Amino acid sequence: MSYLFDPDQLHEIVRSCIGLPHDEMLETLITRIAQAYPGHAETEQDWFFNRLAGATGVITVLHASLSEYVLVYGTPIGTEAFSGHYPLEI
């Protein structure tokens, strides 16, 4: 199974946004992902609260399919919760 999103390319996009002011960082990140994957990334920021593994934060989904997802998650406090890459092949 081939995947649409390349983890190395996403990592490079994220690294290019680090250090920008918060609102500018998010806008730039979402715009660059949408430019790299036209038609596959949602650009409207629809944030909602999420509680996962003991960490409460906000989340917005940029892409979701049966095989992969791209989301932005943030919390104002430190967390030690696990988040990882979950490959799925059926």
Dump pLDDT digits (tens) for 15-64: 999 999 989 999 999 999 999 999 999 888 888 888 777 778 888 999 99
What are φ and ψ of residue 8, in 5° steps?
A: -65, -40
What six digits make up the tokens of 85? Answer: 């890459």
- pLDDT confidence band for 4 (50 / 70 / 90): very high
**Is the CB of residue 3 less than 8 Å from the CB of residue 68?**
yes
Q: How many residues are present in the chain?
A: 90
Which pTM does this prediction carry? Answer: 0.77
Quick one: CA dihedral 5, 11, 12, 14, positive or negative? Answer: positive
Rounded to 10 deg, the angle between the 22-36 and 7-17 helix axes is 150
Q: Could you tell me the residue ranges of all domains in the chain?
A: 7-74
